[in-house]
Amino acid sequence: MRLLIVVLILVVQTVEVEGDVFMEWAKLQKDFWDWRMRMSPELSTSKHVYRYNDLLTPLNLTQFTLVKIGVDGFLGQLRTINRSALSGKEQMNFDVLEDLLQMFSESHKWLEYAPVNRLNFLEGLTIGKKHSISGIPFHNRGDFENFLSRLEQYPNQIMEIIDNFRVAVRTGHTLHNVSIAKVPIQIDELITSTPEQFGYFAPFNDTLESITTIRQAVKDDFRERAKRYIADILISLGDLRDYIQNEYLPHTRSEWGVGSWDNGSFYRACLKFHLSVEMTPQEVHDEGLREVERITTAMEEILRAIGFDGSIKEFFAAAKKNKNYTKDTADEVLQLYRTMFEEIIWPKLPTMFKDVPDIKVRILPMTFDGPIGVYSPGSKDGTRPGIFYANVYRPQDILTFSMMPVLLHETVPGHHLQAIYSQTDNLRNYRKGISDRTYSNIPVTFPIYTAYTEGWGLYAEYLGEEMNLYTDKYEMLGRYALENFRACRLVIDTGLHMFNWTKERAVTYLMDHTSYGRADAEIEIDRYITLPGQACAYKIGEIRIKQIRKDAEQQLGKDFDVRDFHSVVLNIGPVPLNLLERAVGEWVQSVTDARQKAYVISPTCTSGTNRSRNLPLIAVICLILTTNR
C-alpha cells in the first residue's frame, strides 16, 4: 500500500512538471507558426490561413533581417525550455525546430549572395501567371478587396526584385549568363497588350460575374481598379525586363561556379543546406568519383555480358533506335507505367513494408516538357490523389527498360509512399510547410531536408533490387544509368563550383556516363550552375540511409527486421540526416532492450503465453515483480 501511494505521488508530480513544460512548448510552436504565417502572406494563403490575403511578402533585404531577428527571438525562447522534460517524440520536434531556426539564423551572413538574385531560368517570375493565384479564394466582396490590395502592391515587389539585383551587381554576386539569359523572354511572354488579358484579371471575369451578392456597381468598380493596378504591373514588368537586359546581363559573372565567393565558404554553406550534414566539397567530389567508378564498372560488365561492344553512351544511343525497347505512343508508355505499378510493384510492397495503407497513385501525362517524371502529393483529406506525372512528350525516346527505377523513385516505395505516410501522420505544421521553396534564396531560408526526401527516392530505386523488380540485364542497365546520373552530379556540382570545371567538361562527363544526349545534358548542367549544391542531396542522402541501415543490421543481427526499419525511417518525416541516424539508433536500442528483457524473464514469465503479443506487458510486470522482491 505504501508503495502504491509513493508511486501515485510520483506520477502526479511528473505530470505537473511535464504539464508546464508541455504548455510552454506548445505555445512556442503555435506562436512561431502564427508569426511565420504573418511574415509570409502568400505562403499563408496557400496554407488556407486567410488573415493576410491583402498583403504581399516584402522582398527587400531589410525584411530578411527582420525575419532573422524574429528567428533569433524564437531560438532564445526555445532554449529556455527544458528539453529533457519532453517526450521522445516531442524532443525530436524540438530538435527539428531548433535546426530550422539555427540554420536560418546562421545563413543570414549570405544575405548579399543568394536572395539578391531572385529570378533565374528555373524560377522565372510567377507574377501574372494564372496558376500562381489558384489557391486564393474568390467568394465574396472581401476576397476581391484583398486581391485588389495585393495587385496594388505588385509594382513595389517588382521594384524590390530590381533593387536586390542591383546589390548583386554591386557586390559581384551575380548569376552566370546561362542562368538568366532566358528570363527577359519569359517576362515578355507574361506581358499582355491589355490589362484584361493578364492572368490576374481572370477572377474579375466570370468568377466575379457569378457572385450574386455583389452589386453591379461594385463589380464595375472592382474591374476598373483591377485594370488600373494591372496596367501599372505591366509597366513594372517592362522595367524589370529592360533592367535585366540592359544592366544585369552585362554584369553576369564570368566563372561558371560560385567557388571563388568568400574562398568557397558560400558554396560550403549551400552544400550544408542541401545535405543537412557537414561534408567538404572534396569529400563530396571523391564520394562521387568512387560511386561513378563502381556503377560504371557494373554497367560495363553487363554490356560485355549481353555482347555489346561499344561504350555506355553508344549503347543507349543504339537502344533508342531499337523498336524492341521503345513504345510508339504516349498512351502506350502511360499504360505500361500503370501496369508496372499495379501488377509488379504494388503486390511486392509487403515484403519490405508493414501495413501500407491502400492509397494508390494516379499516373498521368506531364503538362509541360520537364524532367522524366515528377510526383505531386495528394491532399490530406484524400479528395485529391497523389499523382505521378510522366514526361511523354517524346515517347519514342523512352526506353522501356529504364522505366522501373523512375516508377520506384516517384511512386512506391519512393515519394508516393513518403506522401502516404505524411498524409496519415500528424507532423507539426512547421515540419511540413515552413518553406515557400524559393530556391534562389538558398541558403538564406528555412531548410527543406532534401537529402532525406530525395535520398529516400534513390534508396527506393535500390530497393527494387532487393525486391527482385529488375527482371533482366537491360532493366539493371536502366537502373544503373539513373543511379550513375546522381553519382555524376556529386562530381559535376563540386567540379563546377569548386574545382574550376567548365560547362563543356561537365556536359561531356555527364554524356559519357549516362543515357543523356547533348541537349538534355546542357539543360541539366545549367541547372547545377544555377542552384549550387542542390544536385548533391540525392546521392549523399541515399548513401547515408544505406549506411544507417547497415549499422542497424550489424547491431541487431537476426533481430533486424527491415520492415520495422522502414517504418522508423518513413514515420519520422523530413529531418536532417543526423537526427534520422539518432532515431534509428533509439529504435535499435529499444529492440535490444526488448530482447534482453525477453531473455531474462522468459524462464518464469512467458511459459504458456503468446510471447510475441504479450511481451511488453509481461516484461513490465516481471520487472516490477523482480524489483519488489
Ligand X SMILES: *[C@@H]1O[C@H](CO)[C@@H](O)[C@H](O)[C@H]1NC(C)=O
Residues touching ligand X, count (CB under 6 A): 26
Could you tell me the three cell numbers for 621? 510486470
- Residue 193 lies near ligand X (rule: CB under 6 A): no
Q: Looking at 122, 136, 162, 181, which residue binds ligand X (CB under 6 A)?
A: 181
CA distances from 276 to 31, 100, 262, 326, 449 (A): 26, 11, 21, 39, 6
Q: Which residues pair with 363 in a beta bridge?
A: 388
Q: Report d(CA 325, CA 400) in Å as an integer.
A: 5
Which one of the spans 54-62, 73-81, 214-222, 425-433 is the region binding ligand X (CB under 6 A)?
54-62
- Residue 585 lies near ligand X (rule: CB under 6 A): no
DSSP letter string over 575-627?
--HHHHHHHHHHHHHHHHHHHHHHHHHHHHH-TTS-HHHHHHHHHHHHHHHHH
Could you tell me the three cell numbers for 445? 531560408
Q: Report d(CA 254, CA 248) in Å as an integer.
A: 13
Q: Which residues pair with 364 in a beta bridge?
A: 389
Smallest gap from residue 34 Cβ to ligand X (A):
17
Output 197 or 297, the one with its CB closest to ligand X. 197
Using DSSP, state whether 240 is helix, strand or coil: helix
Which one of the spans 79-87, 441-449, 472-480, 557-565 is the region binding ligand X (CB under 6 A)?
79-87
Smallest gap from residue 387 Cβ to ligand X (A):
26
Smallest gap from residue 62 Cβ to ligand X (A):
4
Smallest gap from residue 377 Cβ to ligand X (A):
29
Smallest gap from residue 64 Cβ to ligand X (A):
9
Site for ligand X in 481-540 (CB under 6 A): 500, 502
- Residue 621 lies near ligand X (rule: CB under 6 A): no
- Residue 80 lies near ligand X (rule: CB under 6 A): no
Output 87 or 379, the one with its CB closest to ligand X. 87
Q: Report d(CA 406, CA 409) in Å as an integer.
A: 5
Do residues 373 and 414 touch, judged by C-beta distance below 8 A? no
CA distances from 357 to 337, 352, 417 (A): 21, 14, 9
Q: Looking at 66, 69, 235, 624, which residue binds ligand X (CB under 6 A)?
A: 66
Do residues 466 and 499 touch, judged by C-beta distance below 8 A? no
Cell numbers 568519383: residue = 289
Using DSSP, state whether 412 is helix, strand or coil: coil
- Residue 10 lies near ligand X (rule: CB under 6 A): no
Output 209 or 465, the one with its CB closest to ligand X. 209
Which one of the spans 3-11, 120-128, 551-559, 609-617 is the region binding ligand X (CB under 6 A)?
609-617
Q: What is the pairing mode between strands 362-365 and 387-390?
A: parallel
Site for ligand X in 222-281 (CB under 6 A): 263-264
Using DSSP, state whether 405 is helix, strand or coil: helix
Site mask, ligand X, residues 287-326, x = CB under 6 A?
A: -----------------------------------x-x--
Smallest gap from residue 290 Cβ to ligand X (A):
21
Indicate the length of the chain as a whole number: 629
Do residues 65 and 108 touch, judged by C-beta distance below 8 A? yes
Site for ligand X in 81-100 (CB under 6 A): 82, 84-85
Site for ligand X in 194-223 (CB under 6 A): 196-197, 199, 201-202, 205
Output 207 or 379, the one with its CB closest to ligand X. 207
- The residue ranges that bind ligand X (CB under 6 A) are 17, 58, 60, 62-63, 66, 82, 84-85, 177, 181, 196-197, 199, 201-202, 205, 263-264, 322, 324, 500, 502, 610, 612-613
